[in-house]
Every structure is written in structure tokens, then in C-alpha cells.
């Protein structure tokens, strides 16, 4: 029998500041969140008796390593600001050694989840070609608010 499809998910957390400049409520103010990102990968379970990855789609440590390097560490304790939010970009750039990440789009949880997916999906494709795929990202902005991005 063909094995049933399987996916694995690794959760990582980071802190970042942001604002939604044109929001009609509190979110137009500078504030921060403890974000949680959940990365879901799908692939086949390795049948490699005697090897470290036997029985795994991918070692959770590998998901952590790639995600930390390219998203979690760059965004952790950074201020995530939209490039269109020019006054704030200029202010943040005036702060010596401030960790600022200028985003292509307004840093809603939807756009951040999409940005993380666009960064990480090709990296997983390249590193583990053919064996597995990043199929979804869930990004929590608060315990009550999150966005899901799915591989098309």
C-alpha cells in the first residue's frame, strides 16, 4: 500500500516591533509582538536504517537551522517597517545600529507570513530537492490572531 501523505511542523518564536501605518485603530502605533511561526513540511519518511534521519521526513533541527538563519534571527528584536512608511524608515535609520528590516509591504501578519514563505520555500527546495517541500506557514501575531500561507 502506498504510504499516506505525512507532514511535520516545527514552531519557532521571535519578538519584533511593527506598526500598520494606516490602521484605523491601535495598530497604527509603534508596538511589538511575540510572534510564533509554524513551518509545515511534507515528504516521504526516510527509510535509512542505521542513519540519523531514519524514520524522519526531516530532522526538526534542520528546519530550525534554515528558518533561524533566514527569517527568525534576521527578524528577532528587529523593527519590521513597510518601505512606504517613509517617515518611520528615516527615523529608524537615524538610530545608530538599530535593527530595522524594511519590508516590501505593510507588516500585517498576512504579509509577514507571505514574506517568510517566499524566503524559505526556495531554500528548502534547494537544500532537500525532491525529497520534501515547505507546504505551509502559520504565523501567529498574538495567541488569537494568525495567518496561514499554503504552497500553491
Ligand X SMILES: Nc1nc2c(c(=O)[nH]1)N=C([C@H](O)[C@H](O)COP(=O)(O)OP(=O)(O)OP(=O)(O)O)CN2
* Residues belonging to the active site: 27, 77, 141
Rule CB under 6 A: is residue 109 a binding residue for ligand X? yes
- How far is CA 47 from each of CA 70, 126, 131, rounded to the nearest angstrom? 29, 21, 12
Of positions 24, 126, 144, 152, contacts ligand X by CB under 6 A: 144
**Cα dihedral: 23, 26, 30, 35 (round 10):** -90
Stretch that binds Zn ion, among 9-17, 24-32, 73-81, 89-97 (CB under 5 A): 24-32
Cell, residue 122: 526556495
Considering beta carbons, is residue 114 or 133 the nearer one to ligand X? 114
The contact mask relative to ligand X for 113-142 (x = CB under 6 A, - = no) is: ----------------------------xx
Stretch that binds ligand X, among 35-43, 57-65, 106-114, 123-131 (CB under 6 A): 106-114
Give dist(CA 49, CA 42) in Å, integer.
20
Stretch that binds Zn ion, among 25-33, 38-46, 69-77, 92-100 (CB under 5 A): 25-33
| 38 burial type by CB count under 10 A (0-12 exposed, 13-18 middle, 19+ buried) | middle
Cell, residue 114: 507571505
Amino acid at each position: 500500500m502506498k504510504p499516506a501523505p505525512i507532514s511535520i511542523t516545527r514552531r519557532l518564536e521571535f519578538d519584533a516591533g511593527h506598526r500598520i501605518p494606516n490602521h484605523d485603530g491601535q495598530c497604527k502605533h509603534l508596538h511589538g509582538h511575540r510572534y510564533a511561526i509554524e513551518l509545515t513540511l511534507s515528504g516521504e519518511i526516510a527509510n535509512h536504517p542505521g542513519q540519523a534521519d531514519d524514520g524522519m521526513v526531516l530532522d526538526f533541527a534542520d528546519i530550525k537551522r534554515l528558518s533561524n538563519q533566514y527569517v527568525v534571527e534576521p527578524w528577532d528584536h528587529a523593527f519590521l517597517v513597510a518601505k512606504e512608511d517613509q517617515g518611520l524608515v528615516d527615523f529608524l535609520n537615524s538610530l545608530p545600529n538599530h535593527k530595522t528590516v524594511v519590508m516590501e509591504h505593510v507588516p500585517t501578519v498576512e504579509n509577514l507570513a507571505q514574506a517568510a514563505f517566499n524566503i524559505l520555500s526556495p531554500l528548502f527546495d534547494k537544500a532537500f530537492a525532491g525529497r520534501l517541500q515547505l507546504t505551509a506557514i502559520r504565523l501567529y501575531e498574538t495567541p488569537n490572531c494568525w495567518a496561514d500561507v499554503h504552497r500553491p
